[in-house]
């Protein structure tokens, strides 16, 4: 019982105090002050000056509009034609993207009926009735019919004549190399009330160049293809995909007038890639002739452009963490 009472007394009525010792020693004092200076230099130099840990950041709200200029002339099958922006630009190919046509295949006067397809057969048994034809050209009727003299081929029911598969080379719209693209990008950082645009001041006759005119919003199509690492003559035959990145990296330690974009252009696949041979899609123009529905089928080959806005703004704050984001979900693309 006495032992328990002693333990209780020690716990309740005894306490420890730190003992201060004043050491007068030059080497110890110098080491102590150097450690303090090192910690202070790390906080001021690295955390505040280099990493700017005193800043807070905001995400961007962005909108992009694109305006194309240029015309092309073609004379396919003695059919002369002028192509303007309304003819060769196809919007809404995806979020923040559009296509500029560089080549095409046209199959005119198609109507639904029976016709022949490529390939050889010997008898009707080689043509399974109701089977769909490769390339979605139609379905087999079950008949093996004469084709080009002594040859025989399976008859199909579908849009006839069947689609032309010959890709023009050189591409029909080689003039697209000199088309121009005007990119207008407006951004806002809501937290700081900062709004910027890439077209505040520029020479309307300028053409973008990474070194000599990096703020010009007008791009030559051929230059964009070159910057992406492609040869325009080759990519124009079957099409391709290119990303235009608009990067805003703004530091409000300085005036907002120093907040300007940089452009990053690159292809979505390698030059020698075999898995992605190009970019194409089809559309049809329907009409009535002699009470029969007909169509002109057009297979478009073009360059798909995806415009992506990246952004980060940092501003002085008492407390803040610095982070960056990739693409704002509120970014929009408008074609004019």
Cβ-count burial of 310 within 10 angstroms (0-12 exposed, 13-18 middle, 19+ buried)? buried
**Residue 282 counted as an annotated binding residue:** yes
Residue 157, marked binder: no
Alpha carbon distance 90, 279 (integer Å): 13
Considering only CA atoms, give the Rg of the chain.
35
Q: CA–CA separation, 300 vs 87, rounded Å? A: 11
> Is 260 annotated as ligand-binding?
no
Neighbours of 28 (CB within 10 A): 10
**Residue 180 among known ligand-binding residues:** yes
Residue 299 known to bind ligand: yes
Residues belonging to the binding site for ATP are 67-69, 180, 280-282, 299
Residues belonging to the binding site are 67-69, 180, 280-282, 299
């Amino acid at each position: 019982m006495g032992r328990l009472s002693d333990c209780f007394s020690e716990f309740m009525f005894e306490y420890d105090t730190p003992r201060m010792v004043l050491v007068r020693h030059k080497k110890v004092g110098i080491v102590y002050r150097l450690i303090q200076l090192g910690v202070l230099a790390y906080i001021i130099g690295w955390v505040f000056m280099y990493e700017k840990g005193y800043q807070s950041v905001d995400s961007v709200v962005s909108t992009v509009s694109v305006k194309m200029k240029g015309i092309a002339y073609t004379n396919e099958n003695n059919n002369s034609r002028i192509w303007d922006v309304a003819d060769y630009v196809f919007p809404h190919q995806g979020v923040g993207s559009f296509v500029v046509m560089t080549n095409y295949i046209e199959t005119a006067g198609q109507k639904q009926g029976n016709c022949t397809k490529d390939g050889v057969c010997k008898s009707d048994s080689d043509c399974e009735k109701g089977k769909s034809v490769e390339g979605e050209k139609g379905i087999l009727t079950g008949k093996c019919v004469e084709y080009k003299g002594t040859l025989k081929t399976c008859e199909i029911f579908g849009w006839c004549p069947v689609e032309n598969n010959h890709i023009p080379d050189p591409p029909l719209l080689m003039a697209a190399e000199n088309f121009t693209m005007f990119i207008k990008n407006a951004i806002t950082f809501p937290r700081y009330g900062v709004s910027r645009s890439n077209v505040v001041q520029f020479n309307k006759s300028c053409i973008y160049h990474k070194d000599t005119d990096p703020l010009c919003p007008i791009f030559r199509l051929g230059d964009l293809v070159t910057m992406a690492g492609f040869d325009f003559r080759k990519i124009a035959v079957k099409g391709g995909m290119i990303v235009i990145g608009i990067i805003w990296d703004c530091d409000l330690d300085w005036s907002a007038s120093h907040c300007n974009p940089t452009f990053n252009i690159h292809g979505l696949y390698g030059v020698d890639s075999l898995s992605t041979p190009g970019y194409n899609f089809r559309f049809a123009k329907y009409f009535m002739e002699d009470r029969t529905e007909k169509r002109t089928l057009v297979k478009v080959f073009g360059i798909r452009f995806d415009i992506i806005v990246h952004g980060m703004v940092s501003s002085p704050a008492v407390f803040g963490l610095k982070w960056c984001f990739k693409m704002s979900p509120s970014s929009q693309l408008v074609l004019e």
